[in-house]
């Protein structure tokens, strides 16, 4: 019947679908043309003034801020916005219509990212700004959701039966009462007043989700604007994994469009808690009226959980600094005073530091520690030893990200690749142990302690100082000799320049090279005497404000000791200006990585990433044995194959020992592409034929000759096109899971395609010289061909006079876990084997191995020479790599870790229809994403979303396949259980996000 009302009054024919609503009937109305509306049928007896107020408010906002995503009200052709119509019971109802907005409820959308929350802040700030001038007689409302009157709950608190919870609510009420008088002095204006998570819409248009609707002005009233922000914030923090960062995001977003005062920011937390308190009391009262509705109380759980978690002591500072405001007035005055007093402080080590050199210990500059997860005692005790003598005086940077803080206390999450605190909040003064330390200005002793933990401070002192204006601040001195501070008493007066301590040696200072850690704090609120000396790079706003650069107290300019972060934006701009744009960067927001260790990489801020993508560092990033052998050989000589060298034959012998005896002759080149080109030359020399058979989508190649046989490159848009001497065969459809499920003979069937390809070559006047393929095609998406496939192919090619080339670049050297080379798993023996990238662990190296007969045929031709191929250095790297795989048991590790990974992915696949297939062997694994399990249509967009999101979760993985819909997991063979479990855990979370849904 309401559809008829819509048609007769607005002239809109539409089908209706009910929407949720507390009192009123709301319908989503969809017209056959695809237009969508919200039809609002008010409860009987609804005050028309209330609807009028909403309609006018919406009209006001549409005019004042047309870009804001608020619904527009639709008038009837007669120009009427609201009509009256009887319902089935004969009650008269007010009816009005809005244009529907795109998007889904914030409550059901995930993830609630920082940028999305910031957008919500910005748009709600914009809304409040737009409503500032709106007036309406109905705005002064006396009702339970009036935020200034929230303390009505005090007299209803008895409905809460649990005494602990009652006590908690009374505390919240007390905090509200404490700010109430200040709150009531703030200007009032029209506010939305119900920005709860069902009244906020999110749209996933483009790459980044954004707020696409702020709806339901039903609770609009006049109140201070901060109450509006407190309501939105209350729903944003509920169950957010890091509520304080979420709160900072919404507040900074709001502040950007509607600047807040410090006083308002300080009221936010009590108001937010009060809003949640009203919500739990209200719903408990409602539950009493509707005892059969369990939903009412279930929905309280997150609010209670949040009300019962302790408040973050630094919250006030976090919020202020997120808005770019100073901590507070005294802090701002101290900072200013320090600046003017610079030059007049006593020298902390009794001599000027003006000429002391700076020593970088940054992620970018330093290679100590070798293992960024575990600094050794020797490394900690020798910081800077590569640049300075132990007797030198030198300074360490403020604000510098470092990898030396490897103790568990610095790690913030569960995994090795979780966030950690890396950024130095003080300045270091390196000087010999025993050196006396002086107070830069007069003060009193606030705190002393001997912190004996490894990598801690050893002896440390905090001094309290007062500026001439009477403001208090503190300085901290760490890594002192504990004996030298034993005489200091709490509150003891210290004079300007007085000796307070001596530097400790590494046996008493936490284990470090002797140095003073000197740090300034503008407040101790929320921190006390337990100062972090290093901060999480993602929390630098607040920590940089609490502990700013202390250079003034050292009589140095700030810039002198301030670390300058590597400029990823500048690198990107230079790259875009000077590199071809087909040199593709991974990720929508590219990442700059400066250090690596085993299966982890680190960005400039020391944030660790789990590398589940790169197969080139086969035995891990920065492997010490590879480093050592490279350095060693470069100290000696590095030349080519024109001279005898035992390293060359040693590498050849080691490699050949891994291969069937018939494959006994090798050539060394610089890349996989070059190796494949050489393999084709060998095949042609041996057969006298030119034709090549290769799988469609089954093969990589980067240089011209290799592109000729790489269908995915020559058939790509702008590609060179298929040469007439190349014929393609389809890949076994294992990647659609078909052969395993219902097609046991697909190996033989696909192999039979070779005959047709050979016939097509013959039609063009070519005989087959070779079949060339990745044994297990990675480009096709980590395809494991069915048993018997390659056997059938090889037999047919050989019968037609060709030879068989196995590209083992990705699949060789133990990655599969069960076999050293993939051809072993197919039970075949190739005539030519190609190896590339992993064999050099990043050093350019490729190898072609063949039989003596084929080698002899090729050797009849002109001289073969590759200047760098088979250099002394390359050969030593290759030989060392083979040793490492064996000695570290990496093939066995690939088997064990690969099995757990595959099992975990299969468990995820059982939970999400997005994963259509999990396949691969060892650490060569693909997860195929589909939009529909039956048609198996590729979920390309979801795959892109997931790979980008996994990067944000600090995990690198790739995409593969003709449709780029196969998640490619191909880590260094060192990956451990921590890495596998982290990947599965985070992937599970990302798969459930809205953006990952097909
Ligand atoms: N073969 C395979 C299987 C590969 O994966 C690649 C590189 N993606 C190549 C050959 C070409 O190697 P390169 O980049 O060293 O030329």
Contact present, 258 and 129 (Cβ < 8 Å): yes
pLDDT at 700: 67
pLDDT at 738: 47
Alpha-helical runs (H) found in 866-939 = 872-887, 890-911
pLDDT at 746: 79
671 C-alpha to ligand 1 centroid (Å): 7
Mean of pLDDT values over 235-239: 91
pLDDT at 743: 64
809 lines ligand 1 (CB under 6 A): yes
Q: Which H or E element spans position 726? A: strand 726-729
836 lines ligand 1 (CB under 6 A): yes
Using CA atoms, how far residue 900 sits from 463, 586, 978, 980, 991, in Å, is 53, 27, 11, 8, 19
Using CA atoms, how far residue 259 sits from 232, 251, 323, 325, 863, in Å, is 16, 10, 9, 11, 75
Residue located via tokens 């590879």: 626
Average pLDDT, the chain: 94
Q: Is the backbone of residue 34 left (phi > 0), alpha (psi -120 to 50) or beta?
A: left
Give the single-character DSSP code of 10: I
Indicate which atom in ligand 1 lies nearest the CA of residue 703. Answer: 16
The number of angstroms, rounded, from the C-alpha of 643 to the middle of its chain's C-alpha atoms is 49
Report the nearest-CA residue for atom 4 of ligand 1.
Answer: 700
850 C-alpha to ligand 1 centroid (Å): 19
**Which residues make beta-bridge pairs with 919?**
926
Nearest to 356 by CA among 433, 430, 424: 430
Instruction: Tell me the residue ranges of DSSP E strands in 9-121.
Output: 15-19, 25-30, 36-41, 73-74, 82-86, 92-99, 104-105
Tokens of 294: 């369990």
Mean of pLDDT values over 947-975: 95
Judge whether residue 539 has pLDDT over 90. Answer: yes
Q: Which H or E element spans position 131? A: helix 114-131
Indicate which atom in ligand 1 lies nearest the CA of residue 702. Answer: 16
CA 343/CA 445 separation, integer angstroms: 23
Contact present, 929 and 939 (Cβ < 8 Å): yes
Mutate to test the pocket of ligand 1, among 836, 847, 866, 926 (most ligand atoms within 8 A of CB): 836
659 C-alpha to ligand 1 centroid (Å): 20
Q: What angle in degrees, to the nearest 10, is found between the helix axes of 852-859 and 672-687? A: 90
pTM of the complete model? 0.94
Q: Lowest mean pLDDT: which of 216-225, 489-498, 617-626, 732-741?
A: 732-741
Judge whether residue 939 has pLDDT over 80. Answer: yes
Judge whether residue 742 has pLDDT over 80. Answer: no
Mapped onto helix, strand or coil, the DSSP state of residue 898 is: helix
Mean of pLDDT values over 275-304: 85
Q: Which H or E element spans position 848? A: strand 846-850
Tokens of 330: 């005294």
Count of C-beta atoms within a 10 Å radius of residue 388: 15
Mean of pLDDT values over 970-985: 98
pLDDT at 961: 87
Report the nearest-CA residue for atom 13 of ligand 1.
Answer: 672
User: Where does the pLDDT of residue 699 fall: very low under 50, low under 70, confident under 90, or very high at 90 and above?
Assistant: low
Cα angle, residue 212 at apex, residues 208 and 218 outer, rounded to 5°: 150
CA 669/CA 426 separation, integer angstroms: 50
Judge whether residue 640 has pLDDT over 60. Answer: yes
Contact present, 283 and 297 (Cβ < 8 Å): yes
Mapped onto helix, strand or coil, the DSSP state of residue 969 is: strand
Judge whether residue 651 has pLDDT over 50. Answer: yes
808 lines ligand 1 (CB under 6 A): no
Tokens of 92: 């008269």
50 C-alpha to ligand 1 centroid (Å): 69
Mean of pLDDT values over 48-72: 97
Contact present, 507 and 366 (Cβ < 8 Å): no
Give the single-character DSSP code of 409: G
Comparing 821 with 707, the larger pLDDT belongs to: 821
Mean of pLDDT values over 159-169: 94
Mean of pLDDT values over 216-232: 96
User: Where does the pLDDT of residue 739 fall: very low under 50, low under 70, confident under 90, or very high at 90 and above?
Assistant: very low
Mapped onto helix, strand or coil, the DSSP state of residue 551 is: helix
CA 396/CA 430 separation, integer angstroms: 8
Q: Say what percent of the chain tops pLDDT 90.
A: 87
Nearest to 989 by CA among 311, 200, 414: 414
702 lines ligand 1 (CB under 6 A): yes
**pLDDT tens for residues 84-123?**
999 989 999 999 999 999 999 999 999 999 999 999 999 9
Instruction: Tell me the residue ranges of DSSP E strands in 467-570.
Output: 472-480, 493-494, 499-502, 515-521, 534-535
CA 979/CA 417 separation, integer angstroms: 8
Judge whether residue 737 has pLDDT over 60. Answer: no
pLDDT at 703: 75
Nearest to 855 by CA among 688, 686, 705: 686
Report the nearest-CA residue for atom 12 of ligand 1.
Answer: 672
pLDDT at 733: 64
Report the nearest-CA residue for atom 16 of ligand 1.
Answer: 673
pLDDT at 587: 95
519 lines ligand 1 (CB under 6 A): no
pLDDT at 72: 96
Judge whether residue 446 has pLDDT over 90. Answer: yes
Using CA atoms, how far residue 227 sits from 179, 236, 545, 574, in Å, is 12, 14, 27, 46
Mean of pLDDT values over 912-939: 93
Contact present, 445 and 505 (Cβ < 8 Å): no
SS (H, E, C) 304-372: HHHHHCCCCCCHHHHHHHHCCCCCCHHHHHHHHHHHHHCCCCCCCCCCCCCCCCEECCCCCCCCCCCCC
Count of C-beta atoms within a 10 Å radius of residue 867: 11
Judge whether residue 653 has pLDDT over 90. Answer: yes
Non-local CB neighbours of 473 within 8 Å, separated by 6+ positions: 331, 334, 338, 464, 465, 467, 520, 521, 522, 523
Q: Say what percent of the chain tops pLDDT 70.
A: 98
Give the single-character DSSP code of 556: S
833 lines ligand 1 (CB under 6 A): no
Mean of pLDDT values over 864-873: 95
672 C-alpha to ligand 1 centroid (Å): 5
Nearest to 281 by CA among 197, 141, 173, 148: 173
pLDDT at 744: 66
Contact present, 199 and 215 (Cβ < 8 Å): yes
430 C-alpha to ligand 1 centroid (Å): 48
Nearest to 805 by CA among 788, 785, 828: 828
Comparing 304 with 702, the larger pLDDT belongs to: 304
Mean of pLDDT values over 512-525: 97
Non-local CB neighbours of 136 within 8 Å, separated by 6+ positions: 52, 53, 56, 57, 190
* 635 exposure class (CB count in 10 Å sphere: 0-12, 13-18, 19+): exposed
Nearest to 348 by CA among 197, 501, 455: 501
Contact present, 502 and 435 (Cβ < 8 Å): yes
pLDDT at 599: 98
Report the nearest-CA residue for atom 8 of ligand 1.
Answer: 700
**Pairing mode, strands 803-807 and 768-774:** parallel
Comparing 845 with 705, the larger pLDDT belongs to: 845
């Amino acid at each position: 019947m309401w559809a008829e009302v819509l048609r007769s009054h607005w002239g809109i024919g539409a089908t209706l679908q009910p929407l949720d609503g507390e009192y009123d009937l709301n319908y989503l109305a969809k017209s056959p043309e695809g237009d969508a509306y919200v039809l609002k049928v008010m409860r009987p007896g609804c005050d028309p003034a209330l609807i009028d107020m909403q309609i006018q408010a919406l009209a006001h906002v549409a005019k004042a801020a047309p870009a804001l995503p608020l619904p527009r009200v639709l008038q009837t052709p007669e120009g009427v916005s609201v009509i009256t119509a009887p319902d089935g019971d004969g009650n008269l109802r007010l009816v009005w219509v809005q244009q529907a907005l795109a998007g889904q409820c914030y409550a059901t959308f995930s993830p609630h990212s920082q940028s999305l929350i910031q957008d919500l802040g910005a748009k709600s700030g914009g809304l409040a700004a737009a409503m500032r001038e709106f007036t309406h007689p109905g705005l002064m409302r006396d009702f339970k959701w009036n935020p200034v009157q929230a303390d009505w709950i005090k007299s209803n608190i008895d409905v809460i039966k649990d005494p602990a919870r009652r006590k908690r609510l009374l505390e919240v009420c007390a905090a509200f009462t404490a700010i109430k008088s200040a709150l009531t002095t703030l200007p009032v204006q029209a506010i939305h007043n119900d920005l709860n998570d069902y009244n906020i819409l999110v749209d996933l248009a483009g790459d980044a989700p954004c707020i696409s609707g702020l709806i339901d002005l039903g609770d609009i009233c006049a109140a201070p604007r901060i109450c509006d922000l407190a309501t939105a914030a209350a729903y944003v923090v509920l169950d957010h994994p890091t509520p304080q960062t979420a709160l900072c995001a919404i507040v900074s977003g709001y502040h950007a469009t509607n600047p807040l005062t410090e006083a308002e920011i300080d009221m936010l937390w009590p108001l937010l808690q009060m809003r949640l308190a009203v919500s739990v009391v209200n719903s408990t009262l409602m539950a009493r009226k509707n005892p059969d509705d369990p939903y009412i109380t279930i929905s309280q759980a997150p609010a209670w959980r949040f009300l019962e978690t302790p408040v973050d002591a630094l919250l006030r500072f976090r919020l202020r600094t997120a808005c770019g405001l100073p901590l507070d007035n005294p802090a701002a005055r101290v900072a200013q005073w320090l600046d003017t007093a610079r030059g007049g402080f006593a020298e902390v080590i009794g001599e000027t530091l003006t000429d002391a050199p700076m020593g970088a210990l940054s992620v970018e500059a330093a290679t100590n520690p070798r293992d960024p997860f575990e600094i050794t005692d020797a490394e900690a005790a020798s910081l800077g030893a590569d640049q300075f003598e132990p007797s030198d005086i030198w300074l360490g940077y403020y604000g510098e990200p470092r990898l030396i803080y490897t103790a568990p206390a610095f790690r913030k999450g569960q995994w090795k690749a979780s966030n950690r605190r890396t950024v130095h909040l003080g300045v270091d003064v390196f000087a010999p142990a025993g050196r006396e330390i002086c107070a830069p200005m007069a003060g009193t002793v606030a705190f002393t302690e001997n912190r004996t933990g490894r990598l801690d401070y050893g002896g440390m002192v905090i001094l309290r100082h007062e500026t001439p204006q009477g403001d208090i601040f503190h300085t901290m001195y760490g890594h002192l000799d504990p004996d030298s501070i034993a005489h200091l008493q709490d509150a003891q007066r210290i004079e300007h320049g007085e000796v307070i301590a001596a530097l400790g040696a590494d046996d008493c200072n936490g284990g470090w090279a002797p140095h003073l850690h000197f740090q300034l704090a503008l407040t101790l609120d929320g921190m006390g005497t337990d100062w972090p000396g290093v901060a999480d790079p993602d929390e630098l706003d607040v920590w940089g404000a609490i502990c700013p650069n202390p250079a003034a107290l050292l009589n140095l300019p700030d810039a002198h000791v301030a670390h300058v972060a590597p400029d990823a934006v500048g690198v990107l701009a230079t790259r875009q200006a000077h590199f071809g744009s087909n040199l593709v960067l991974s990720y929508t927001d590219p990442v700059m990585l400066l250090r690596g260790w085993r299966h982890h990489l680190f960005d400039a801020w020391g944030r660790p990433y789990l590398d589940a993508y790169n197969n080139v560092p086969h035995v891990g990033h920065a492997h010490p044995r590879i480093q050592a052998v490279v350095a060693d050989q470069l100290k000696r000589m590095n030349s080519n194959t024109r001279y005898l060298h035992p390293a060359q034959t040693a590498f050849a012998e080691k490699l050949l020992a891994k291969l069937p005896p018939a494959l006994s002759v090798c050539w060394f080149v610089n890349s996989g592409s070059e190796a494949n080109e050489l393999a084709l030359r060998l095949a042609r020399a041996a057969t006298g034929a030119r034709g090549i058979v290769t799988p469609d989508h089954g093969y990589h190649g980067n240089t011209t000759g290799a592109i000729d046989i790489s269908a995915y490159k020559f058939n790509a848009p702008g590609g060179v096109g298929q040469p007439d001497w190349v014929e393609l065969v389809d890949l076994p459809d294992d990647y659609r899971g078909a052969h395993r499920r219902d097609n046991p003979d697909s190996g033989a069937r696909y192999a039979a395609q070779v005959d047709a390809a050979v016939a097509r070559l013959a039609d063009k006047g070519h005989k087959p010289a070779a079949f060339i393929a990745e044994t297990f095609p990675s480009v096709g998406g980590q395809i494991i061909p069915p048993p018997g496939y390659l056997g059938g192919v090889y037999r047919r090619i050989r019968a037609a006079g060709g030879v068989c080339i196995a590209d083992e670049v990705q699949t060789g050297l133990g990655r599969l876990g069960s076999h050293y080379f993939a051809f072993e798993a197919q039970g075949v023996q190739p005539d030519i084997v190609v190896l590339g990238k992993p064999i050099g662990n990043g050093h350019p190296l490729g190898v072609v191995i063949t039989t003596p007969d084929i080698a002899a045929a090729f050797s009849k031709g002109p001289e073969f020479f590759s200047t760098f191929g088979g250099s002394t250095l390359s050969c030593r790297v290759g030989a060392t790599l083979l040793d490492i795989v064996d000695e570290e048991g990496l093939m066995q590790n690939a088997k064990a870790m690969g099995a757990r990974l595959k099992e975990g992915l299969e468990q995820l696949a059982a939970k999400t229809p997005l994963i259509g297939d999990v396949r691969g062997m060892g650490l060569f694994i693909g997860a195929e994403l589909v939009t529909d399990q039956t048609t198996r249509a590729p979920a390309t967009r979801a795959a892109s979303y997931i790979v980008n999101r996994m990067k944000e979760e600090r995990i690198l993985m790739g995409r593969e396949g003709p449709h780029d819909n196969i998640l490619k997991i191909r880590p260094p063979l060192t990956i451990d259980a921590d890495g596998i479990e982290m990947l599965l855990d985070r992937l599970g979370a990302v798969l459930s996000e809205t953006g990952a849904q097909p």
